[in-house]
Amino acid sequence: MKKLAELYEDEIQVILAKYPDEQKRSAVMPLLYLAQRASGRISQEAMQEIAEILDIAITDVASIVGFYSLFHEEPGGRYRIQVCTDLPCALRGADAFLRQLCDLLGVEVGETTADGLFTIEEVKCLAACHRAPVFQVQNGDGLEYHENQTIDTARLVIDELRLRAQKPPGGAA
């Protein structure tokens, strides 16, 4: 597996330059996003490398990965479909929408489709409550919002993602 330093040499420099020289540790989250970009998850090797770049312990890096819900150690689908079912969205039909979406893809919340493309997840408020039902699609380090959804518009989004998945990986979401 290629090292981050080879894959993203310039980007790593840009990230490190954002913080004062003696505060490199601040770069841990942006570097983790970089590590997650290619495969949608963060490997032990990547954590080790980030720890070395920042001169901190790998356990510190691992605890950050564990703390934040958008970092993933476990493999999941290429696209994580994250549906908000928090209170304001739930008042506007989010639970029923989630159910329909699960049926459409033939999986339950937390499961991945057999083709490895989609994982459905339930998430908390996405700051778009007036446009419920709403979901975001997380892919590598990319995220995009889909608002005012119905099961029909969601089907279009999913078809579009299937097409995109046929192109070579590595691009943004």
Partner 1 sequence: MSEHYLLRHRSVPHIDRLDVYRSQGGFEAFHKAVTSLKPGEVIEEIKKSGLRGRGGAGFPTGTKWGFLPNTLWPHYVVANADESEPGTFKDHEILESNPFQFLEGLMIAAYAVQAQRAYIYLRGEFWQLAQALDQRIAQLEADGLLGEDIFGTDYSLRLFTHLGAGAYICGEETALLESLEGKLGQPRLRPPFPATAGLYNSPTVINNVETLTNVPLIIGRGADWFRSFGTDKSPGLKIFSLSGCVNRPGNYELPLGCTFRELIYDHGGGIVQDHAIKAIMAAGASSVLIAATPEALETPMDYETTLEKFGAPLGSASIIVLDETVNMAWLAFKTIGFFKHESCGKCTPCREGTFWMNQIATRIMRGKATRADIHLLENVAQQIQGKCLCALGEFSIMAVLSSLKLFAKDFEQLIKVEHDG
Cis omega (within 30 of 0) on the bond before 133? yes
Q: Which does 68 bind (CB under 5 to 8 A by kind): ligand FES, partner 1, none?
A: partner 1
- Measured CA to CA, the distance from residue 158 to residue 163 in angstroms comes to 9
Q: What does 158 interact with, of partner 1, ligand FES, none (CB < 5 to 8 A by kind)?
A: none
Residue ranges in contact with ligand FES by CB under 6 A: 84, 86, 88-89, 125-129, 132, 134
Q: Which does 29 bind (CB under 5 to 8 A by kind): ligand FES, partner 1, none?
A: partner 1
The tokens describing 87, both together, are 């209170």
Could you tell me the strand order of the sheet in which 118-123 lies? 118-123, 79-84, 135-139, 142-146
- Name residues whose C-beta falls within 8 Å of residue 89's C-beta, 6 or more positions apart in sequence: 125, 129, 132, 133, 134
Min dist CB 96 to partner 1, Å, is: 14
Q: Give burial (CB, 10 Å; 0-12/13-18/19+) of 101.
A: buried
Q: Which one of ligand FES, partner 1, none interacts with residue 3, CB within 5 to 8 A by kind?
A: none
Q: Which residues bind partner 1 (CB under 8 A)?
A: 18-20, 23, 25-30, 32-33, 54, 56, 60, 63-64, 67-71, 86-88, 90-92, 123-130, 132, 136, 141-145
Least distance between ligand FES and beta carbon 83 (Å) = 9
